[in-house]
Amino acid sequence: MKLKIGLDLDGVIIDHTNNKIRLAKKYGYFLKPAQTSSESLKKLLPAKIKSFIDYGIYGKIGLSSKPMEGARETLKKITKAFSVPYVISRRYKKQIAIQWLKKNNFFPPLPRNQILFVKSDLKKNNPCKKLGIDVYLDDKIKVLDNLTSVKYRVLFDPYGHHYKNPPKNIKVVKTWEEFLRYLQKLANCAIIN
């Protein structure tokens, strides 16, 4: 089965944990890694500080962010087993995102022409619908709730905030490997080594 897969970039492929901790500290907030998810930051920080941190990680400091553990290797397996995923990201500094992907050897498995940018998180449904995306992986529930055209919506939750009580109609995974197993289950195929 050739599943059409869509992926978010920040918080799914790019791990900004260390940079979020560093930037929050600059503003007088001391965070633990599990407190750096977008949803946690909304609850813990004033909106203005969260905006400063978001702006910072999307800038040049973001180039020092690490890949999410297992992302590159699992993407190679996904590309081989299913199809080449589309990355659909809300980014206002697109060139830095492209530089990060090059620097961290994501070209391949991802082709540049399948990296798409939208102006807001809530605009991700438009390209998903146009491309016929079957499965979408994001780290924000709000985004997934809005993806009405996507049949299988998956929350990437590395710290397990929603793992035991998943949002309705959304699959929750903690790791890239778990996402691959979910895709295999959907496609009813064997593990690709």
The pTM of this model reads 0.93
Domain with CATH 3.40.50.1000 in the chain: 5-14+67-187
Return the pLDDT at 193.
42
Which CATH class, in words, describes the domain spanning 5-14+67-187?
A: alpha beta
3-state secondary structure 121-177: HHHCHHHHHHHCCCEEEECCHHHHHHCCCCCEEEEECCCCCCCCCCCCCCEEECCHH
Return the pLDDT at 189.
54
Return the pLDDT at 78.
93
Q: 100 and 72 in contact (C-beta within 8 Å)?
A: no
Neighbour-count burial for 132-156, b at 16+ CB within 10 Å, e otherwise? ebbbbbbbbbebbebbebbebbbbb
pLDDT along the chain (193 residues), means of 10: 90 97 96 92 93 92 96 94 93 91 94 94 94 96 95 94 82 96 82 45
Q: 122 and 140 in contact (C-beta within 8 Å)?
A: no
188: left (phi over 0), alpha (psi -120 to 50) or beta: left
Closest C-alpha among 135, 117, 146, 124 to residue 173: 135
